Chains A and B, each alone.
Chain A
């Protein structure tokens, strides 16, 4: 079956894509929506422009759309992008990397129902600690680009997350009661390499501390390099 994958370039959408490929789904395109506001309900905001490089690394065509990010409007924009994927790539289904957000999942489901598409949501409601461990175990290499959580140290900004880091993040998550997979927006991630990437991303940047509990890794240079 031909599927498109909703793709934000973070660990969740990349891992969902990874699992979809492992399950034998034929991924024919990526759909990325860039919200114009930071607090979009549906879409990932930081680093979204770098998905164009990731799409090249994956050797997959990408439908890249800009959306206002206003609740309700962004659903219509997603609807239009899905319609384009049906027309251009004959997709029969959508891969969704939603973890726990029913707002995201159900909005995609309603669009899928409208067009008679299947959906594949392999990460839905998984145990969050095991999930974040599996992402790293299965070779998804990512950096943390933004932190917005009390208790998550700034030292993780810009760093490629290892299994050891994951265990440390889980300990912080237990102590300070945040979601270790960052489902609540505690942190944002950018995937720099994955088993299905033909090339990997080389990233350079600097840490920008915004407040006591929030900071950003400002990416100053990014390029595709051979693996």
Chain B
């Protein structure tokens, strides 16, 4: 496939709009759209299988806390702690 040049504005289409400086001034009084920021990586979902006894133990530890947290939150904390230990970096 041959390389195509970047398309230019279609003058025929532009011509249907007022070309006078007053219209351009009217438009420019509105703010520009924000520049696109690089997208942060999206959250990843996956299914986690935990052996029953281990999950029971997890729940026991979790419920022993004065402030209850979800399994999901507990596992996230565990991941972060392990990452800190292994890489010396926290998030």
The answer to whether A binds B is: no
- Seen from chain B, the residues whose Cβ lies within 8 Å of a Cβ on chain A are none
